[in-house]
Structure 1
């Protein structure tokens, strides 16, 4: 992919992404004790590639992300981008791959939410203070030819 990728403009997130990239995930994969991945989405308004770092969980070969935005009233930009264009790029440690993201169904979410709160318990507090249902996103690899 030769297209320029724009990293998060949030200072500490941008620094985390730089460390992740510079060490090929060796120093960025675990962040303050939590597993993180890099998610690259297509901007729903700009059309540009946008990259952010997120805490993740795993479930039967799928990656799980919580669109918490720290419990803010609005969804994070990365989630809005995923809803507009579900084809994404992911880096987990040194491994990079194409994937498709979707919001977990109401039936799936309770069990997957438990996986994520076991990794990052603050998600329950974020949900309690949010004025919205916090989405849980399932990211699945796509076969590349």
Structure 2
């Protein structure tokens, strides 16, 4: 039996607490966070090679899940986004369901519709876009048949 890889949770204190509650309760405490549905995204660090986990607001789009790489409107992309650009194979937990997925940046044909979907879910995304010069990426997660990478 393989030993699970260690997963490092977000270094941001409140996010790490949210992740801990989410994991410990199988998503019962944490899936809904202040009225927003959240999932846990685990990426492979592009520099360290280690598993990195964060909690993100999402919206379903058919059988896919949509995320926004807003980083609170900062000038730089969030680390999780940079990680998935390097390795698009990710692990996702939505509630109690954990699965492997492929992360793709929404193309021009899909981005506008998905951006509006995400702004309807979390209106602050529009303000974040106004406060930065970068175009905030929209990411689409599609379930794959691979087993999810699990960690401790």
- TM-score interval, smaller chain: over 0.9
Provide the C-alpha distance between the structure 2 equivalents of 1:62 and 1:114, rounded to a whole number of angstroms.
Answer: 16
TM-score by length of 2: 0.93
TM-score by length of 1: 0.98
Hey, what does 1:33 align to over in structure 2? 35
3-state SS, counterpart of residue 107 of structure 1:
helix
Hey, what does 2:67 align to over in structure 1? 65
3-state SS, counterpart of residue 108 of structure 1:
helix
Provide the C-alpha distance between the structure 2 equivalents of 1:95 and 1:60, rounded to a whole number of angstroms.
Answer: 16
Deviation, structure 1 residue 144: 3.0
Hey, what does 1:48 align to over in structure 2? 50
Provide the C-alpha distance between the structure 2 equivalents of 1:112 and 1:144, rounded to a whole number of angstroms.
Answer: 26
Hey, what does 1:108 align to over in structure 2? 110
Provide the C-alpha distance between the structure 2 equivalents of 1:69 and 1:93, rounded to a whole number of angstroms.
Answer: 23
Hey, what does 1:140 align to over in structure 2? 142
Displaced runs of 4 or more, over 2 A: none
| Unmatched tracts of structure 1, length 5 or more | none
Deviation, structure 1 residue 142: 0.3
For this pair of structures, how many residues does the alignment match? 145
Matched, 1:20 2:37: no
Provide the C-alpha distance between the structure 1 equivalents of 2:146 and 2:111, rounded to a whole number of angstroms.
Answer: 28
Deviation, structure 1 residue 131: 1.5
Query: How large is the RMSD of aligned CA atoms in angstroms?
Result: 1.0
| Unmatched tracts of structure 2, length 5 or more | 148-152
Task: After superposing the two structures, state which structure 1 stretch, 106-115 or 33-42, moved more.
Answer: 106-115
Provide the C-alpha distance between the structure 1 equivalents of 2:93 and 2:66, rounded to a whole number of angstroms.
Answer: 13
Provide the C-alpha distance between the structure 2 equivalents of 1:60 and 1:27, rounded to a whole number of angstroms.
Answer: 24
Provide the C-alpha distance between the structure 1 equivalents of 2:138 and 2:10, rounded to a whole number of angstroms.
Answer: 20
